[in-house]
Structure 1
């Protein structure tokens, strides 16, 4: 993953479009298996494959006719949850026009695009905390553009390109003076939970060839650094003091996706996450379980080495054990579509299809 090299929002360079990562079975020119695919075979198991298959089938069965997925009773048909469901399919290589669930992704994309406002906000009118959903949806647009270049339909490609640029422009314009983002698209307040959603969207857009103002990233990094506590964990806002592992995972991921890969703040953050959030420590009913592990697995993957080797088998086993008989995972706050999407994205990280997960 290249470090940010950013100037201003201009155009997308198709030469920068990422190709999907190699998958198991690919070989070197000499006929041998690549080291990457040997690692993939060790990380994926038949039990995991079956778990993912059931989860994807559940998502497909529960897509609404308008292309959306529904969150818990609080959320309704939600742009952000729809984006995450589509990313879960894309993590298995399904994109519009390719793969058994390509049509599900295409219909989800239409729903997301149909819910962009004149300001560039990706959210339904009734959305709670719309910048959460906007961040996930903008990430989805960046990933699908990065994997397809917009596709063969020129009109649809132009629509996707325009929506991606507008969604990123909104993120840039709504950064507050502390360097972060908050629930609503106004530069007033900030918290680390919403901030990571926007940083990942900016990273994805950059990977797809969109230039992003360097000042936006610099201010975001400064905000994240100021949120770190002496124990290595991260607080929710600059004015609220306690550390917790889910938002600490978000803090570490924020630094990685801002282009910082070797830093004392990352090392201390990773140590805090392992000490307080390691899978298997009976935290399955804790608040923000799927949210926390979504960022934690990314942080451990980007850290690599012993941390990844320790973390991956533990979260893989725990999530497999939490799957319901019907194929879903249930998040008590945001509902089954959200929990299932998050679990599937986590479990498919080793496939490395998504540009955002390619080192």
Structure 2
């Protein structure tokens, strides 16, 4: 990679290359039937009757891959392949579980907006089943988090973070400062991961205002949520809107959501990657031979998978996901078991988690690439707060999801490490600072080369780290 390109990467806001880099859904084995007799939810949407069906804070970009000489691609041998980790299996209920729809949120009546009635019956992907209420979350934490003794601690930390996010929402419904679409998307994803939607008694109005801000922003800009770094911001916002639609089926969301997904699909490079500015013209073949990079592509893959899980129908969606898998495999190195940034070779710790999770979301979680990378990650990446930096939240976020979905001994070890680290280092008010520091915006020095935006940094790190603590119930471990 040229010196000029490396300089350009370092100058990018740390949040943008990570964001800026989730969430994840894959094989849908069953559905849960949601029913309600007549719950009217006051929202800012009018649902058509026929509709049923996350200076720098943007995430720290992973460190540029080390420059290495290109080596011929070698076929992985049985010796070079990672042992197949034992997958966690979660038996799904044989009968549909009735999930009660909460009563309308009283405060929302004061918003003076139109009524939207949740469909009387709609299918929610079973992958979201564990997040729906206190009992299912506690059960998942007990099973995957290390026992019932940790459930209260983990949920307490999550509630403190959600309360902090609620208090730090902007008056217009957004979050953050310089990168509102991405920060709003990340905050909503954190709420939704805990099962909080527009019907939530405690956080319903907060979610409603955030979703409405995204909807208004999209409508003003032809269903594109950001003009600045859309490759990250638009993808994250789309991801959040898709999850909200999957959990509520509010019809008014669909038009903007379909347009947002279409933007991602048509912006994909022929190779299956995504590029800065959604430029798919392959304009830098020497520096970026596959047209884009894995960091950017990871967020767009998550957005497409969320849309797929929500039942969104957009021309080219399945083909885009197939091409994305081809790209992810193309940057994997069989010798090092690492994923490259723009091509095979090099890579960074941050890209290990991105690559693994992308493979899982795209139906290849049991592939030799995913298994090899999981073994590599388990031997290299540590969740050590004191040694952390701006990029650590990004790395840990992806690795946590990858290890959880991989299961086995890799997950047991990583769970104990990250869980205790985050519980110990959460601030009393519920947010997290930059790993390695007790300040939201550490002073620039030899260690802190980037000075984060004070409005975005605490939102970014709090959402990314909180979603790690929600991993036990955010998605059932059914990726294979």
Q: Which residue number in structure 2 is paired with residue 349 of structure 1?
A: 471
Q: Greater shift after overlay, 110-119 or 288-297?
A: 110-119
**Residue of 425, 433, 457 corresponding to 1:335:** 457
Q: Is the 8 A contact 2:377 2:399 kept in 1?
A: yes
Q: Which residue number in structure 1 is paired with residue 184 of structure 2?
A: 82
Number of matched pairs: 330
The runs of at least 4 aligned residues of structure 1 exceeding 4 Å deviation read 1-4, 33-41
> Quick one: distance in 1 between partners of 2:278 and 2:351?
21
Q: Which residue number in structure 1 is paired with residue 425 of structure 2?
A: 322
Q: Which residue number in structure 1 is paired with residue 342 of structure 2?
A: 237
Q: Is the 8 A contact 1:16 1:208 kept in 2?
A: no
> Quick one: distance in 2 between partners of 1:276 and 1:66?
42
CA RMSD of aligned residues (A): 2.7
- What's the offset of the Cα at 1:320? 1.7
Give the alignment's TM-score, normalised by structure 1.
Answer: 0.83
- What's the offset of the Cα at 1:120? 2.6
Q: Which residue number in structure 2 is paired with residue 153 of structure 1?
A: none
- What's the offset of the Cα at 1:111? 1.2
- Written as runs of structure 1 = structure 2, the 5 A alignment for 1:1-359 is 2-3=26-27, 14=53, 15-18=122-125, 20-22=128-130, 23=133, 25=135, 38-39=143-144, 42=147, 44-71=150-177, 76-116=178-218, 117-123=220-226, 125=227, 127=228, 129-150=229-250, 157-158=251-252, 160-188=253-281, 189-211=291-313, 213-229=317-333, 230-238=335-343, 241-280=345-384, 283-285=387-389, 287-331=390-434, 333=452, 334-352=456-474
Distance 1:34-1:284 versus aligned 2 partners, 3 A rule: closer
- What's the offset of the Cα at 1:235? 1.6
Give the alignment's TM-score, normalised by structure 2.
Answer: 0.63
Greater fraction of residues in helix: 1
Q: Which residue number in structure 2 is paired with residue 8 of structure 1?
A: none
Distance 1:48-1:113 versus aligned 2 partners, 3 A rule: same
- What's the offset of the Cα at 1:84? 0.8
Q: Is the 8 A contact 1:3 1:258 kept in 2?
A: no
- What's the offset of the Cα at 1:278? 2.5
Q: Which residue number in structure 2 is paired with residue 30 of structure 1?
A: none
Unaligned 5+ segments in structure 1 are: 5-10, 27-32, 151-156
Q: Is the 8 A contact 1:176 1:187 kept in 2?
A: yes
Q: Greater shift after overlay, 138-147 or 320-329?
A: 320-329
> Quick one: distance in 1 between partners of 2:212 and 2:259?
16
